[in-house]
Chains A and B, each alone.
Chain A
Amino acid sequence: MTTMREQAMATAVDLFERDERVAIVMADISLDYLRPAVEHDPRRAVNAGIMEQSAVGIAAGFALEGFHPIVHTLAPFLTERPLEQIKLDFGYQGLGGTFISAGAAYDYGESGGTHHAGGDIQALGSIPGLEVLVPGSASETDALLLASYANGRPTYLRTSVVENREPVEPAPGGLTLVRRGGDVTVVAAGPFLSRTLDALDGVDATVLYATTLVPLDVVTLAREAAAAARFVLVEPAYEGTSAAQIAAALSHRPTQLLSIGVPRRFIERYGTNAEHDAALGLDVRGIRERILGFLKGV
């Protein structure tokens, strides 16, 4: 099975070979995946080395000259260390570029907190005009990257080792209506869709699937939401990351919102994704318990 990361790298190489305006800037990660680009044209496929601030700065230099740069490394090192470079070199200057991360949230559960990034979307989402894409499968990763790489704005594409059972036809920039129900409206993001659907077994819920978390498709949300006041947000990032956008979209109607996401604390144990899911209340059982409790008013 092709992982999201493998697909993102393959699509990036494909774009690089087809579009001379694409530049790839690496930071010593995924070099084997991206070697075909270097072999194709080493003048615009650059490994900066282990220097993420400069990798983003170098990418901005390419963007200043009209290129569509793609920068890639692991999530915390791409989104937190060079946050100011993404904010100023790209956001403030009005430049477009794609930032592709690997290792979302606690994906690298055996590596410890230095390699976790539950706050990546919140951090980058603070940059005006930046777009955050959270695919749930390899095919969605491909489609979203193809649709966004030349969009002229800074764009964060977050790949994960966790995938949904079945891919969904992505609606770049939009929400996809998965099913309709009357008791609650659930927004499930990226790779958390499958477990959310499982957790909703027997619940009469409208489910909307998001692969674009910033900006959230508030038009579709307002249009498709069930009449009931209760809303649930399930996202693979710090709890409440997208809550403000949902609240703003629903400001015209009474709303109760339950935000389910990664607890805002450092994770101190090592283990598999399944072990972390269970400990964090983000497996099917944990999500279901919280949703049912919410619906019962507990």
Chain B
Amino acid sequence: MAEQELVEIEIDGKKLQVKPGSMIIEAADDADIKIPRFCYHKKLSIAANCRMCLVDVEKANKPLPACATPIMPGMVVRTQSKEALVAQRAVMEFLLINHPLDCPICDQGGECELQDVAMGYGKSVSRYTEGKRSVKDKDIGSLVATDMTRCILCTRCVRFGQEVIGLPELGATGRGEHTEIGTYIEKSLTSEMSGNIIDLCPVGALTSKPFRFKARAWELEQGTSVAPHDCVGSNIYVHRHRDKVMRVVPKDDESINECWISDRDRFSYEGLYHEDRLTQPMIKKEGAWQVVDWQEALTFAVDGLKKVIDDNTAAQLAAVASPNSTVEEHYLLQKLVRGLGSHNIDHRLRQTDFSDQLATPVSAGLPISIEAIETQEQILLIGSDVQREQPIVGHRIRRAYLRGTNVCVINPMDYHFNFDVKEKIIVSPSTMLQELAAVTKAVLDQTQNTRHGKVADLLKQVTVSDSHQRMAKQLLGAGDKVVLLGAHGLNHLHSSQIKLLANTLSQAISGQCGYLTEGANATGASLAGAIPHRCAANLGVAKSGLDAKQIWQSQLKAFILLNLEPEYDCADPQMALASLQQANFVVSLSPYMTSTMKDYANVILPVCPFAETSGTFVNIENKWQSFAAAAAPQGEARPGWKVLRVLGNLFEQEGFDYTVSTEVRDELKVAVDGMTMTQTNQDHIPSTLNFSANVDLERIAYPPIYRTDNLVRRGESLQRSGIAEAAAVHLSANTATQMNLADCEQVTVKQNGQHVNLPLHVDGRVPDNCVYIPSGFAETAMLGVTSPAALTLERS
């Protein structure tokens, strides 16, 4: 499109050059001229129903709403003339007619748009003496509190539901004075982004339930931080009161999260104050746990590890870190472990296929910017419940879809999305590979592409059907294209083959291939060297250490764990726990203490979780985002990087003399910037593709959105919210009938000699001959996640 010519208008005497077709309010906002508003929001459609934005436009015979009046060349607008002020004052008076004016007991007090605008534009007394309407409060779940009498019917929340999250759950029912905002039938909101209506609501009608009556806006201090759950790295503000985190709200960043954040990022802070928090170092002596000071705990840890290394070799030591740890922590952890002589370190906890690690780039995320997802014309999702895994990426895909983008999926479950899917293939995890192969073959055939000869050879036996041809044709359509791999792709039993095909496919359609990695900092962890096959900044190692799977298989004698709860975080929780239990010495750096941890660990060092430590996360766009601690550590807890630094000192290793965390980051950053990107990048071509499942009933497993990491699992309000899942067995109707099982009954799941009783749900999303049992729950922790071991179900 050709650059549109700008037109000149004048607002309050200022001459402005503006885009034709934009509204007066946009021009004024860009020029920093304040126009009061309630219903207008830059990310929502225009409703023009509050009339607060009335301005005086020359040659118009009445005041006009600035949010709904398009600009015309030569327009002269006054926001402060007598007419404008009279109109604004009158509107304000009307808006307050039914408003309870209960600011002293309203949670929004002090940060209320209505309060502010009334102060600026209203009168000091009301002439209204009649009765005010009152509206019954609604219960819309554990996250958003309602005081609907305060609602001014701006419909921002309604439009947010319809437009942004595509879940029209809220609406305006009734008429005239009886109009009410609500869900009509009381029910919890079921969006992963519902908390944003708290920020959108200009009054105190929708407020944060967990934050209710906890503090006043003016008592809070604000720190900036980065959300610690997914690879997007949403920018957030952390609000604290007397050193305690009181709430989290979004920080605008157009390139990442815009003005939104997911509910997980907003409400997980509650987990900081869970009763599991460990506030003092603990050691286990002769089987009994005792609280000790840091000095003693650290010496105990160092002596214990030294003894194992001295009695055996350093190869008996492994370190396993959560991908949610900071760059600084990953870097120091690997520096420590490598300094002690071991390359056994990993953060890829749910991955089980590492066969391609030497052939592929050290870190792979998104080759395009998060913003650019919106401008793709074709998107293929492979093994991804993107809306629940990375809500902001899901949001960008929805925006793309609303623009007309075609989305195709190849998934192991028929996940519900707030965008329509053009072509979809829903098959068991093992068949996903086969289907992807068929689509790839169809693309290669349709384009008569010969550049991928080796892969094409692997695909010879693959049968291509109509659905594959259709998807291939779609993907070959015009425009920018991206193939996105989600958790079910990256953690697939044969993820190397999935990646190979996804990369081949994306090249063949002239698109890009992106990995939606797990946790907040997988990219950072890889760059920092928390991987067995490369040191920090992609430096090669003579011989790779053990990967996350081998570490648990090898009956090692000593472990250092960082931020880890293996029973929930690992691909095979049973194997991980068994491995830890047989070890001689386990040091766990963790914000929480659990009974399982007490079982296997010898020392637990309380490290600071998110918000209490400074650090850096690298998101999938390879953007390094550093943050300072936003709240004080609890009790004796210390930032992980400091603990690792002292451990380095106690082991008398070189190069552990940092005073601030930014020194750690800078050391790595310099290395990464100078990093030779001579990534071998050759395709890792297996001799054959593994299409068969080997088991009759395939398990689909992934932690649901609020079970992904140690912090969010302890967010109480999230656990009670509308989309929280419980441990259960999900089967398709067909499979349930075949197994003679009925909805809602209790079934016994058996695997590897373990068994557990769970309720059964007949779930239309699950393909036949598969069973979806979410991981991340105590109840399901004994089952292998991507384990190929046979699993059976029977009536309890």
- Say whether A associates with B: no
Interface residues of A (CB under 8 A from B): none
Interface residues of B (CB under 8 A from A): none
